[in-house]
Amino acid sequence: MKVGLTYDLRSRYLSMGYSREETAEFDKEDTIFGIENALLSLGFETERIGNIDDLVHYLSKGNRCDIVFNFSEGMHGFAREAQVPALLDAYRIPYTFSDPMVLSLTLHKGMTKRVIQTMGFQTPEFAVINRTDEIADVKIPYPLFVKPVAEGTSKGIGKASIVNSFEELRCSCLSLLLKYKQPVLVEKFLSGREFTIGVLGTGKDARVAGVMEIIHLKNSKVNIYSYYKKENYLEYIDYKILTDDLAIKGSEMALNIYTQLGCRDGGRVDFRLDENGVINFLEINPLAGLNPIHSDLPIMWRKQGLEYEQLISAIIMSAVKRCKDKGKKQTLIDVEEPLAVENER
C-alpha cells in the first residue's frame, strides 16, 4: 500500500521569510523522517508529497496513492487545517485524521467551546473579541486568560495572557488583534492542575491512549503552558502519567468529547481544574503534533513504555479500517499484504 505524506516543512517557510513563531506549528525534518520510517517499518510504501501547493501539483499530474498520512497544518484562514483534507475528499483519496468540518470547527476555540457547552461539558466562562470596541463588554470576573482564537502550539500565549484588570485586558487584546489578525478568546483563568488526554481510533473503536499532567517546575514564574515553555520544555516542564480517579473521570470526558465531535484516528483533549477541583474543557487538537521527541502525544506514549512506531501504527490502521468499513475496498488493498512482505525480508 502506498502512503502519501502531506505536511508543512518548517525550514521551507523560514526560507520564504516567515518568522519562527509564524511557523511554530510546522514540522521539522525529524518529524517527517520519524513518521516515514515508522510507516516503512510497518511494511508500507511511502511517498513524500508536501504542503497543499505540492498536493495540487501532484494531483494535477495524475499522481495517486492509496491513502494519505496527513499532518499538514496549513498557513492561512480558519480552515487552514481543513484545506488538504477537503482537496483529498474532492479526489476521493482516503487520509488520516479528521475531516474538514471537524478541523474547521476545532481550530476556532470559541466556536468549539460553544459546541462543548451544548454537549453539557464544563468549560471556563468566555467571550470572543472580534473588534476593539467589544473589549469593554467583557463581564467575566478576573483573573482572565487571553489568547488568539485560532492558533496552536501555544502561539500568542505568554506572561501577558493572564490579566487582572481592564487595562491589562485591553492591552493584551489590542496586541493580539493587531499581531494575529484574528479574534481573541477571553476566558476565566483556572488556577488548578492542567492535563492532556490522548485518544486513538474512531467512533466505537476510539480509546484513551493516556492521561498526562503538565507540571510547571519551580523556575517557572507563571504556571501557563506558553509557546516559549513548549520550545524549552526540558527546562521548565515535567510530565507525569496519571492513572488515578482524576484520570478516569477525565478519560471519560475526553472520549465523549472526541467521539461526539466526530474526531478520527487520533488527537488530544486538554483540561484544567478550577479552584474547586472541577474538570474544565480547554480545547481539543484533532491534528496533534507527532514529533517523536518533543510533541505531547508522543511524550505521553513514550512515558508509558510504548514505541513511536506503535503510535503511528495505531493511527494509520484506524484510518485504513474506517475507510474499508465505508466500502472503499477498491481504493485500499488488504493491509496484511505489506506487512507480509515486510516479514519476508
The CATH number of the domain where 155 resides is what?
A: 3.30.1490.20
In a domain? residue 323: no
In a domain? residue 333: yes
Summarize the confidence of residues 289-297 as an average pLDDT: 95
The four Cα atoms 222, 282, 191, 294 give a dihedral, to 10 degrees, of -40
Q: Is the pLDDT of residue 343 over 80?
A: no
Predicted model pTM: 0.90
Domains identified in the chain, total number: 3
Q: Are residues 130 and 209 in the same domain?
A: no
- Find the domain containing 65 and state its range: 2-97+328-344
In a domain? residue 107: no
In a domain? residue 67: yes
Question: pLDDT for 226-245, tens place per residue?
Answer: 777 877 888 889 999 999 99
What's the angle, vertex CA 218, arms to CA 213 and CA 222, rounded to 5?
75
Burial class for 274, CB neighbours closer than 10 Å (0-12, 13-18, 19+)? middle
Q: Are residues 172 and 213 in the same domain?
A: no
Coil, strand, or helix at residue 221? Answer: coil
Question: pLDDT for 139-185, tens place per residue?
Answer: 999 999 999 999 987 888 988 999 999 999 999 999 999 999 999 99
Average pLDDT, the chain: 92
- pLDDT for position 122: 97
Summarize the confidence of residues 250-271 as an average pLDDT: 98
